[in-house]
Amino acid sequence: MTKRLPREDTLPWYRQFWPWFIILLPASVVVAGLSTLYIANRHADDLVVDEYYKDGLAINRQLEKKQRAEELGIAATLRFDGDKVAVSLSGSESAPELQLTLSHPLEADRDFVTTLIRSTPGQYLGRLQGEVAPRWHWTLELPEANGWRLDGSLSAGDFSDEPR
């Protein structure tokens, strides 16, 4: 009787299933980690401020301007229609132009500033540089040394119901 020797595998390692399966597991974790890192950096929220002291000083100036608007009895109503904005201003202000800042609640790179020109006493008109939606924040101000400031957030009632 002849003794049988175990069959030798003649295929090299890179042509077999198990080495590739073992390599694929850590490789998939590396790809998932890099994908997660990309998503986290690309869609990060802009909620943290680096320069707290300078922002604190700016907040004091903003509060002074808001108080000045209250003393002058200034109030504003905003109305959006497509890429146009109309502001009705009540109070004792008759500046030739105002500055409207529209801020996205989470993404600072979508913020923009628009100059509003007085069309009639108490009425100001301007064009938007981008789309806005409810929940955006607005700041209306007279950008002078002794200017004033109003702010608020947009609601669905601020937009025209007419088709564009």
Q: Which CATH architecture has domain 74-158?
A: Sandwich (2.60)
Q: What is the reported pLDDT for 124? A: 94
Structure confidence by residue, pLDDT tens digits, 32-83? 999 999 998 887 766 666 777 777 777 888 888 889 888 889 999 999 998 8
More confident residue, 92 or 138: 138
Domain boundaries of the chain, sorted by first residue:
74-158
Which pLDDT score is estimated for 46?
63
- Judged by DSSP in three states, 69 sits in helix
Sign (positive or negative) of CA dihedral 123, 103, 65, 157 = positive
- Residue 85 confidence (pLDDT): 93
The first and second tokens of residue 58, run together, are: 């700016």
**Percent of the chain clearing pLDDT 90 (strictly above):** 43
pLDDT at 163 over 50: no
